[in-house]
Structure 1
Amino acid sequence: MKKSIAVGGGLVALIISAATAFIVVARPFDSPLVKACEEIFKMQLRSPSGYSRVDAIDSIQPITIREWVYLTRPDRLTEDPLTERQAKRMEEAGQVPAWLTTYVEYDAPNAYGTPIRGTIECKYLSKDSSPRDASRYDIVVNGKTLLEWLKG
């Protein structure tokens, strides 16, 4: 009886430690905005494996539907029928567009291998105040889009 309790207790401890390690390493509950932000930023590092997130802080700045339409399609007039239909659909659906901003504090080695601490600013223009549709193609990291980062 004592042997089975010891084995059962050891198994429970193993499962708990494995689950804790998975959560710490894999971070399964990160928002798509944080994941995409880190993915783009790591492309710029000399040693991406040395990157380590310290903290992430989110903020939401609601905007009007008209502002969202203007920011997503600045070449179109507000009287454009297509723009008007899209704005009406958003109003009917009760969508509240917003700028989502995440500040990620990180540690990473510099060119000499010395760890430094820095902050990344990631911005995403959401049509429904949610980061669920954020991808690396839609966000701005430290003032640059993915294409601008790739150009150098």
Structure 2
Amino acid sequence: MRILALTAALLVAGCSQDSLSAKMCEGIAKRLLRSPSTYDRTKMIDGGSSIFIEFDAANAYGTSVRNTVSCEFSDPSSAKTIEITKFMMNGDEDPMLLESAKATLISLSSRL
């Protein structure tokens, strides 16, 4: 019984820590929003190098809208630097979004 409680506590504690990939993906999403201060994450699935985030944010009219972001990163264990390889926002995989995400990732990385 104690082992089960300890395991559950460790799992809950581990879930509160976002991975570097998750933080980067979230940072990119916020930077691409019209009103980043309205960002409110509702769900995140952190698969290490593959991240899915669902969030609410205000659109151009100030109305809160549900959005999704999906990021895929190079395997951080196989390289010294992390690189974004795929970026989708609201199901759109536009090459311009990927280039914008790469530029944002470089900007965010320089702050770390």
Relative to the length of structure 2, the TM-score reads 0.58
CA 1:141–1:55: 2 relative to 1, 3 Å: same
Quote the residue 1:121 is aligned against: 70
More strand by share: 2
Matched, 1:141 2:90: no
Any conservation in 2 of the 1:33–1:134 contact (CA below 8 Å)?
Answer: no
Unpaired segments ≥5 residues, structure 2: 1-14, 106-112
Alpha-carbon RMSD across the aligned residues, in angstroms, is 3.1
In structure 1, the gaps of 5 or more residues are 1-26, 61-99
Match of 1:105?
54
Distance 1:123 1:148, change over 3 A: same
Q: Aligned to 1:37, what secondary structure does the other structure show?
A: helix
Write the deviation string for residues 28-87 of structure 1: whole angstroms up to 9, x where unpaired: 711111111111111111110000111111336xxxxxxxxxxxxxxxxxxxxxxxxxxx
2:19 is matched with which residue: 31, 42, 57? 31
Deviation at 1:147, TM superposition (A): 2.7
Offset of residue 110 of structure 1: 0.7
- Larger RCO of the pair (alpha carbons < 8 Å, separation 6+): 1
What is the aligned-residue identity percentage? Answer: 37
- Count residues in correspondence: 80
- Aligned ranges 1:70-85 → 2 under 5 Å: none
User: Structure 2: how far apart are the matches of 1:134 and 1:50?
Assistant: 30
Question: What amino acid sits opposite 1:114 in the alignment?
Answer: T
Q: How far apart, in 1, do the equivalents of 2:74 and 2:59 lie?
A: 31
Q: TM-score, normalised by structure 1?
A: 0.44
Amino acid at match of 2:60: A
Is 2:5 aligned against 1:49?
no
Structure 1: which 4+ aligned runs deviate by more than 4 Å?
Answer: none
